[in-house]
Structure 1
Amino acid sequence: MPAPKNRLRGVTDLLSPAAFDVHVSEVRTGVSLAYVREGVGGYPLLLVHGWPETKRIWWRNIAPLAAAGFEVIVPDLRGFGDSGIPDDGFHDLAAHARDLHALVHDVLGHPRCSTVGSDLGGGVIQDLGLRFDGFVERQVLFNSILPMLPVEYEAAGLSNEVSPQVRAAADYYVRQGRDADGLAAELDTPERRRAYVAQFYGSRLWGTPGGFRRAEVDFMTEPFASAEHLRAGFGNYESGVGALRVSEKPRWFEVSDVPTLVLYGPDDHVIYPDFMERCEVAFRDLVGPFVVPRAGHFLQWERADLLNRTVTAFLRDRL
């Protein structure tokens, strides 16, 4: 897809960290987040990345959504990209959610916003919407982790067993969660760290086939050359399996009332095969789920135009 010109910076190369101004704010004591903020004065829209991503995964969405009338806020989560690694050692959903609330509400001054997220970022915005009542007006999710609702899923005829597909793809999850130090020790050079992360954009079949050119993979993996930031990213998995203490209990065991639009990229080999059916249980006020052909785990990059139009339509009355 041709790279649209950033109307605010005059940059035509979207495979450049300089395509957008990056700001850094201390949002909570000892927590510094880097973020892009474009379209200031529009309706606040928070875009949250997952793993192994940074704010760069949204580079194809920022300028079009700002042009549509949104104030687009795109952070690096704690421990990712240009954000700091807090001394408190927390990498759990609640810590991320409180960071983002502090950024949008306290630093940028927005009492409400809408959110878009997938993977880890989808989990973070779900926690954010439940933890701060009324703060998230609407949310858009795709290829995201979903809450643990064993009773509700079983009542809907869904299995609580891990599917063979997910189990086969979960070796990375086990190592990053239970052997993070050992894995980090093996990835002992910038080249090895980037090659490890590059698998998730290619051979591990998370994305749609051919969705990322070599130069695009290089752009996405560059922030993970840092040993400290790659290791910090593993903390999100350690938190999930109980190997690392959490700041507080996640809002991860309840059905959400936040109005939610769900998309699904079917070329994803790591998200639950019954993702769409689970979403019908997890969200009371649901639009979709809608299948997006030629998309996988990285739908915001793979089908950027479609996502931009869909988000704009879903939030049109807010504009």
Structure 2
Amino acid sequence: MFNPTDFPKPAFISVNGVKLEVFEAGRQNAGKPIVLCHGWPEHAFSWRHQMAALDAAGYHVIVPNQRGYGNSSRPTEVTDYDIERLSGDLIALLDHYGYEDAAFVGHDWGAMVVWGLTLLHPDRVNKVINLSLPYQERGEKPWIAFMEEILGGDFYFVHFNRQPGVADGVLEEHTFQFLRNLYRKNEPPAEPQPGMALINLARAETPRGEPLMSDSELAVFVSAFETSGFTGSINWYRNLDRNWRILAEANPIIQQPTLMIYGDRDAVSRSENLTTFVPNVEVVHLDCGHWIQQEKPEETNQAILSWLERQDAT
């Protein structure tokens, strides 16, 4: 397990009207940037197993807590969390370091941001590595309406939008219990329960499966969300339909070399037409659940580093 005291100390960098809490490794490798983008409900600390490996491979590793998370700014307007602003933060971060472009790595919601960033600012992204969440095709119908039709009003994406504040309050009331119950591995299969799954999870007194991390690692996440609350991070979900409109004018094809890493036991659906939108993609499957880079750190590092090495050789 990782000792949290070994995690780098942050810098606070003003970008795009907010301050981001940014953790770094490999500053001596200036000129070869790689930016790691966490998911929900996570933290830059979720990349703790990757930072040293990427530093050793010659990369300048830049790991922000994105807006709404950790000690980064938490604007109050819902629209302050749309894809334009989230990707704008990352572009401004590149500008801060004087970089024209970088490799970007995203997990979960971080992957959603990296896909959107690459569509909106293709000249600033030279490689894409995404974990768990594949490219989401922009269909005829806005995403939340589409999900509501298929998955119903209790599906958490829909619930966050249709009942603002309800889930936020429950998760804040049960922060430790929610995160302890969420960050698990090797969970036995279970029948879907009625109601809103994440609210049920936050209220469940007994966790399922095995803990993903040590108590001291979990404490980093719990402490961060006890400070920040959940509303800023959940506001990312409340911009899905706005993002759908923002991306209407973007060329939907991603030309950059891309690595897609799936966990075979992840509940997130795989893409059936990934190569239609991401023609230069290589796909890797790991035997794990959703928290890929934390559950299988060595295998994740190996997949990323060997792929990067092949890209640099061409």
TM-score of the two chains, using structure 1 as the length reference: 0.78
Once the two structures are superposed, the pairs formed by residues 135-146 of structure 1 within 5 Å of their partners are 135-144=124-133, 146=135
Q: State percent identity of aligned pairs.
A: 22
Q: Is 1:84 aligned to residue 78 of structure 2?
A: no
Once the two structures are superposed, the pairs formed by residues 264-303 of structure 1 within 5 Å of their partners are 264-269=262-267, 271-272=268-269, 275-287=270-282, 289-293=283-287, 295-303=288-296
User: What is the match of residue 301 of structure 2?
Assistant: 308
Query: How many equivalent residue pairs?
Result: 283
| Equivalent-residue separation in structure 2 for 1:203 and 1:304 (angstroms) | 13
| Equivalent-residue separation in structure 2 for 1:200 and 1:280 (angstroms) | 31
Cα distance change, pair 195–118 in 1 and its aligned pair in 2 (3 A): same
- 1:85–1:229 contact (8 Å) kept in structure 2: no
Deviation at 1:167?
Answer: 3.9
| Equivalent-residue separation in structure 1 for 2:63 and 2:153 (angstroms) | 29
Q: Is 1:24 aligned to residue 18 of structure 2?
A: no
3-state SS of the aligned residue for 2:230? helix
Structure 1 or 2: larger helix share?
2
Once the two structures are superposed, the pairs formed by residues 64-103 of structure 1 within 5 Å of their partners are 64-86=53-75, 89=78, 90-103=80-93
TM-score of the two chains, using structure 2 as the length reference: 0.79
Cα distance change, pair 211–279 in 1 and its aligned pair in 2 (3 A): farther
- 1:137–1:259 contact (8 Å) kept in structure 2: yes
What per-residue deviation string (whole Å, max 9, x for no partner) do you get for residues 26-78 of structure 1?
A: 1122x111111110142100110010111010011111111111100000110
| Equivalent-residue separation in structure 2 for 1:234 and 1:257 (angstroms) | 30
Cα distance change, pair 19–246 in 1 and its aligned pair in 2 (3 A): same
| Equivalent-residue separation in structure 2 for 1:120 and 1:64 (angstroms) | 23
- 1:94–1:124 contact (8 Å) kept in structure 2: no
User: What is the match of residue 178 of structure 1?
Assistant: 162
Once the two structures are superposed, the pairs formed by residues 224-235 of structure 1 within 5 Å of their partners are 224-226=225-227, 228-235=228-235
User: What is the match of residue 210 of structure 2?
Assistant: 210
Structure 1's unaligned 5+ residue stretches are 4-12, 152-160
Structure 2's unaligned 5+ residue stretches are 141-145, 189-207
Once the two structures are superposed, the pairs formed by residues 124-135 of structure 1 within 5 Å of their partners are 124-135=113-124
User: What is the match of residue 196 of structure 2?
Assistant: none
User: What is the match of residue 102 of structure 2?
Assistant: 113
| Equivalent-residue separation in structure 2 for 1:253 and 1:197 (angstroms) | 37
What per-residue deviation string (whole Å, max 9, x for no partner) do you get for residues 103-126 of structure 1?
A: 12x111111110111211111111
Cα distance change, pair 281–162 in 1 and its aligned pair in 2 (3 A): farther
